[in-house]
Structure 1
Amino acid sequence: MKIAIAGAGAMGSRFAVMLTQGGNEDLTLIDGWPEHVAAIKKNGLQADLGEDDKGVGKGVGLQVPVWLQSEVPSGEQFDLVIVFTKAMQLGQMLHDIQGVLGPQTKVLCLLNGLGHIETLEKYVAKEQIFLGNTMWTASLIGPGKVKMFGTGSVELQNVAPGQEDAARDLAEFLSKSGLNASYSADILASIYRKACVNGTMNCLTALLECNIGQFGQMAPAHAIVTQVVSEFVAVGRAEGLDLNESELVAHVESCYDSAVADHYPSMYQDLILHKRKTEIDFINGAIARKGRKYEIPTPYCDLLTAMIHAKEELLGAK
């Protein structure tokens, strides 16, 4: 299978490593960060795989083709494109790579946040779109360098009716590379479940400048998480989703003592480390907008969205 990963940041790089190690040699990275692309071209993609059971560090360097998204050549079409951009960059990425999106190209969108189908449908037919989320984690520690944490999984579903077998085949294909992918009959509920993690851990660790485990040790942590999750649940229920608030709170809090406790989520990495604007408008901001639509109060999401934007301004994020 001919694969492209559009958005080769932390998660895109992790998937590239795992897919390549799973035997998929025809894989190309596409990204918009010139320094990152240049580093991969020069030194390969350098991956820190953590430590083995004896405490010895493990690493790998992958020589993989990489294109700057503004320089993607037309005419070479892919069987599968996995989209891993930031939510606000999705439209520009799809515009830049439309020359390699053929009528048979499957597009798997694994972005954080809500509301991506409408953007995808501007560039490919609904029958080509597969929507999912992932619990894998990673950190981009510099141009061309990724650090991989713990284990994870992928859930995905076809957007168009009648593509269920294609979605199951795609999940099976990803699982052959150890990505633990499965078909979901209700991906929107799974996306809301992941969004509860993003809507708490991402913005709160960025605002407080701490990792997940450190946040979990703070006295107000439980109360804050419960309030934020309650707003996600209320909006999700207004959209017809069957969400269990107490289970979702427990799911978020399970991160505190897991293999990702020392992880600094992507919003922290973007804002604190790299002074980049964040995806807050597609996570807490999306819940705030939907809350206004359904006349549901969302004071915590309103405040967190405003605070992240204020911190972006304070740090001169671009």
Structure 2
Amino acid sequence: MGCLFGSFLSEKHEVVLLEQNPERIDALNQNGVTVEEADGTRRHYPMKAVMSGTPMPGVELVIVFVKATVTESALETNRALLEEADVLTLQNGLGNDEIIEKFVGKEHIFVGTTRHNCVVTGADSIFHSGNGVTKIGSLCGNDKRAKEIVAAFAECRDGMLFCENARRLLWEKLFINMTLNSLSSVLECRLYEIYANPHTWALTGKIVDEAIQVAAADGEVFEKKLVLDSIKKLCEDAKNGFASMVQDRRAGRKTEIDFINGAVVKGGQKYGIPTPVNETVVEFVHAFEESDRVRDKLFE
């Protein structure tokens, strides 16, 4: 997703990608980023990439796309960039803003969600499998700066919107993640299969039921039908895409499940609301993580 948004924004702004893999840094600097669209068209974007932790003066905005599991370590490595910069998280899950607050003040933290979806196909290439709106807001009322960030994004792409209620925005994205990410990870299926399979769709409804109760206790009221309609639409719009958690499993990476369905479980514990379905989903994903690791060792 960093490559995708970096490509968009590079049309009007100076963009630098932060990477940890030297081979990928070389590939990006030499070849740029190739974005393949769902209709088969391809577009090439020249790009600059540097090693994470490289000092760069004058950075105005740091956009965080790393997995929630490594947010703190990534920000610690790049602490010098944060001295004068605002930070925008477009990550999955709840709680990333709380981690970012360890490094910058609330007034410099902005949160957002996006319906864009992509799959890495090479060191310098991605497949843009899903398109949609991106919403950005401030959790502490710094709407002026949030609107400036949205305007900068809008110079490069349509569908960039300001959101006044940023907390609700995060819950809206969480409903997508807690169903599509977790279930597609367990089943290793494409997004459209979540809706097409009546059993996974029934399970989706049960996951959402629990989360709606927790969200209401957290101050955000949602209607189940509208939530399910939103999930269904994304299944249709990005039907051939894979959720990021599927890609994590295949790559042997730790998933973000504790920041997604785990956030519902944590909220349930806070407000005294039972969340047995989400608890089971969390354990299933962790079980697959462990079994994948053990299986790899058995066949070494």
Quote the residue 1:40 is aligned against: 28
Verify the 8 A CA contact 1:158 1:164 in the aligned structure 2: yes
Aligned residues: 295
* Mapped pair 1:302 → 2:292: no
Return the alpha-carbon distance in structure 2 between the equivalents of residues 276 and 75 of structure 1.
Answer: 29
Q: CA deviation at 1:32?
A: 2.9
Quote the residue 1:264 is aligned against: 242
With the length of structure 1 as denominator, give the TM-score of the two structures: 0.88
* Cα deviation 1:137-162 (Å, max 9, x = unaligned): 1111232221112421111112333x
Verify the 8 A CA contact 1:114 1:283 in the aligned structure 2: yes
From 65, 71, 76, the equivalent of 1:95 is 76
Quote the residue 1:279 is aligned against: 256
From 205, 221, 224, the equivalent of 1:245 is 224
Return the alpha-carbon distance in structure 2 between the equivalents of residues 31 and 75 of structure 1.
Answer: 14
Alignment of 1:11-30 (within 5 A): 11-21=1-11, 23-24=12-13, 26-30=14-18
5+ long unaligned stretches in structure 2: none
Return the alpha-carbon distance in structure 1 between the equivalents of residues 58 and 144 of structure 2.
Answer: 22
Q: Secondary structure at the match of 1:316?
A: helix
From 269, 290, 293, the equivalent of 1:313 is 290
Verify the 8 A CA contact 1:284 1:302 in the aligned structure 2: yes
Alignment of 1:10-89 (within 5 A): 11-21=1-11, 23-24=12-13, 26-51=14-39, 57-69=40-52, 72-74=53-55, 76-89=57-70
Quote the residue 1:122 is aligned against: 102
* Mapped pair 1:148 → 2:136: no
Return the alpha-carbon distance in structure 2 between the equivalents of residues 314 and 27 of structure 1.
Answer: 39
Q: CA deviation at 1:218?
A: 1.1
Q: CA deviation at 1:179?
A: 4.7
Verify the 8 A CA contact 2:19 2:51 in the aligned structure 1: yes
Verify the 8 A CA contact 1:18 1:179 in the aligned structure 2: no
Q: Secondary structure at the match of 2:198?
A: coil
Return the alpha-carbon distance in structure 1 between the equivalents of residues 171 and 139 of structure 2.
Answer: 16
Q: CA deviation at 1:208?
A: 0.7
Q: CA deviation at 1:68?
A: 2.1
Q: 1:233 to 1:50 in 2, by over 3 A?
A: same
5+ long unaligned stretches in structure 1: 1-10, 52-56
With the length of structure 2 as denominator, give the TM-score of the two structures: 0.93
Q: CA deviation at 1:292?
A: 1.4
Verify the 8 A CA contact 1:81 1:108 in the aligned structure 2: yes
From 193, 197, 202, the equivalent of 1:218 is 197
Quote the residue 2:269 is aligned against: 292
Return the alpha-carbon distance in structure 1 between the equivalents of residues 254 and 291 of structure 2.
Answer: 11
Q: Secondary structure at the match of 2:41?
A: strand
Return the alpha-carbon distance in structure 2 between the equivalents of residues 292 and 120 of structure 1.
Answer: 23
Verify the 8 A CA contact 2:139 2:167 in the aligned structure 1: no
* Cα deviation 1:107-163 (Å, max 9, x = unaligned): 1111110012221111112111111111111111232221112421111112333x2
Aligned residues: CA RMSD: 1.8
Q: 1:151 to 1:75 in 2, by over 3 A?
A: closer
Verify the 8 A CA contact 1:154 1:179 in the aligned structure 2: no
